[in-house]
């Protein structure tokens, strides 16, 4: 049992180290880091407190695999992400605490196919980044963990993407709310990335920094 948990943790730690190549944004100026491995460690430790509980969870894992991905935890070692299904929003991340929001975004990066086409509501700090090879700006909501020591960005496209930057956008570090449809897309560099498309976008709080 211990060996199995250790192997699972090692694999997930490897995923943490390599996930940026799949569905994140290092080539656009955002270099997210995360403490998801710490969350995993905590989850594993909780499981280790009760071998009986672990056995029950293990025996039910097969039936859980047959459930809809939108209704179950994508990764059993991360906090459960349940659909909101309210006011047309499938997942409302604004109602979660910092660590759960952070882990939820990580889930979307690891298994984006489970969230494809879902309407996501998220809030955080706005940030724009210019990517020279494509000669364009990309826009992000920056999500921090509860300790504000780690951050990662969720790209979004405001409405149809016709809004003019910087004239119609707030300053970097403004606190904003975005609601959009989760999708993956292939960029000109051949890599697959995640974003919220057709998104509504509003400023909740302007940054006081110059």
What 3 state SS string does 76-88 have? Answer: CCCCCCCCCCECC
In this structure, the dihedral spanned by the alpha carbons of residues 104, 109, 153 and 21, taken in order and rounded to 10 degrees, is 150
Q: Please give the pLDDT value at position 42.
A: 53
Would residue 161 be called left, alpha or beta, if left means φ above 0 and alpha means ψ between -120 and 50 degrees?
A: left
pLDDT 10s digits, 76-116: 556 567 788 888 999 999 988 777 888 888 888 888 999 99
Q: Name 86's bridge partners.
A: 89
Which backbone phi and psi does 168 adopt, to 5 degrees?
Answer: -100, 0
**CB-CB contact of 39 with 99 (8 Å):** yes
When comparing pLDDT for 203 and 145, which is higher? Answer: 203
Question: In whole angstroms, how large is the CA radius of gyration of the chain?
Answer: 18
Total number of residues shown for the chain = 210
pLDDT 10s digits, 35-59: 444 544 554 455 555 444 555 455 4
Q: Mark out the alpha helices in the chain (DSSP H runs).
A: 2-18, 20-23, 36-48, 51-59, 61-65, 98-110
pTM score of the predicted model: 0.66
Task: For residue 199, give Cα distances in angstroms to 158, 160, 163, 174.
Answer: 5, 8, 12, 17
Confidence bin at 154 (pLDDT 50/70/90): very high
When comparing pLDDT for 10 and 175, which is higher? Answer: 175
- Helix%, strand%, coil% for the chain, nearest 5: 35, 30, 35
Task: For residue 200, give Cα distances in angstroms to 38, 145, 181.
Answer: 33, 24, 10
Nearest-10 crossing angle of helices 98-110, 36-48: 100
């Amino acid at each position: 049992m211990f060996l199995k948990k250790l192997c699972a943790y090692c694999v997930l730690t490897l995923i943490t180290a390599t996930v940026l190549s799949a569905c994140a944004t290092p080539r656009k100026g955002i270099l997210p880091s995360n403490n998801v491995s710490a969350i995993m460690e905590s989850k594993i430790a909780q499981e280790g407190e009760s071998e009986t509980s672990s056995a029950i969870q293990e025996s039910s894992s097969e039936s859980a695999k047959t459930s809809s991905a939108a209704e179950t935890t994508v990764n059993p070692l991360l906090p459960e992400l349940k659909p909101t299904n309210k006011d047309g929003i499938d997942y409302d991340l604004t109602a979660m605490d910092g660590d759960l929001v952070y882990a939820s975004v990580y889930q979307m990066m690891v298994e984006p196919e489970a969230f494809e086409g879902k309407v996501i509501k998220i809030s955080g700090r706005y940030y724009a980044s210019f990517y020279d090879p494509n000669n364009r700006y990309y826009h992000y909501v920056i999500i921090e963990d509860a300790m504000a020591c780690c951050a990662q960005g969720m790209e979004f496209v405001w409405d149809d993407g016709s809004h003019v930057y910087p004239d119609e956008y707030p300053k970097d570090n403004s606190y904003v709310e975005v609601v959009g449809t989760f999708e993956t897309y292939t960029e000109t560099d051949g890599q697959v990335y995640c974003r919220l498309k057709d998104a509504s976008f509003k400023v909740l709080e302007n940054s006081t920094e110059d």
